[in-house]
A = this chain, B = another copy of it.
């Protein structure tokens, strides 16, 4: 196992200004797993009920995503989320209904072969469960924590315990400001680094992403989209692509981390172009490469040495 993803596997109903979809594949592990699978071998640890459609399980298999760690509860119902986005604010979903169902009793148990995973994504689950996962892994090269506002406001202390034990925290700009009670994102980044992780990625949506360590700062543009169909899962998709890329490179350096941000950015941009995993589920190699190249070109310019008067 190269990339281990622990998170939710859900059925989503999503409404955006571009349409409505019901019962589609959702949850952080579905998005992140899909994305990582383009770069590296992936396994998912999650839980579903036996109402979870077989065709969705088959999809994971088709993408070579290992499901040994996916618990299927007999007679149980799968986590179901329903939400929508307003036309003028595609950055934040409004929940209509959240039925945790079997996810309420999720107790992640790692299959033996997963314990040696190199790259671990702690998706958006209870901080206490994230700690349980950390107790089960052996010598990961990098553990990425993806968090969200719900835990920041409701379970801050528990969340900060996780911060101390992970290598990288992925957080969006609004959440970073909330967590740090500070509007300047550079200051937020520094504060988060003092909370434990070696690296922090602050995701700024359409404005790109910022990777920070105590000694390094890297700014990545977002891929410019003139139409965001559905932003659900873009953060998870970013994290999955990020870890998948790192696993493929095998080396963990400032350079590969920067490149991983671009891989994550590329995958997240495709995620926003379709409902759920519609778009990311069937990407061609050349589509990914082309967008990686385009992203680079968008922010590239010649070094300049003006004469200063």
Closest Cβ of chain B: how far from A264's Cβ, in Å?
A: 12
Question: How many copies of the shown chain assemble into the complex?
Answer: 2
**Is the CB of A280 closer than 8 A to any CB of chain B?**
no
Given A255-B301, A298-B219, decide whether A309 and B38 contact each other with a Cβ distance below 8 A. Answer: yes
- A144 contacts chain B at the CB level, 8 A cutoff: no
State whether B306 touches A263 (Cβ < 8 A). Answer: yes
CB <8 Å contact, A186 and B226: yes
Q: Which of B90, B204, B218 contacts A207 (CB 8 A)?
A: B204
Given contacts A248-B306, A288-B306, contact A301 B184 (CB under 8 A): no
Binary contact track A71-86/B, C-beta < 8 Å → 1, others 0: 0000000000000000
**Binary contact track A161-194/B, C-beta < 8 Å → 1, others 0:** 0000000000000000000000111110010000
Which residues of chain A from 253 to 303 have a CB within 8 Å of any chain B CB? Answer: 255, 258-259, 261-263, 283-285, 288-289, 292-293, 296, 298-299, 301-303
Total number of A residues with any Cβ neighbor in B under 8 Å: 57
User: Among the listed B89, B263, B306, which residue makes an inter-chain contact with A245, where contact means beta carbons less than 8 Å apart?
Assistant: B306
Extra contacts besides A39-B307, A187-B226 (10): CB < 8 Å: A38-B309, A184-B226, A218-B298, A259-B302, A262-B301, A284-B308, A289-B305, A292-B305, A296-B301, A299-B299
- Residue ranges of A at the interface with B (Cβ–Cβ < 8 Å): 37-40, 64, 87-90, 183-187, 190, 204, 206-208, 210, 217-221, 224-228, 245, 248, 255, 258-259, 261-263, 283-285, 288-289, 292-293, 296, 298-299, 301-309
Closest 7 CB pairs of A and B: A285-B308, A207-B207, A219-B221, A186-B226, A258-B301, A259-B304, A219-B299
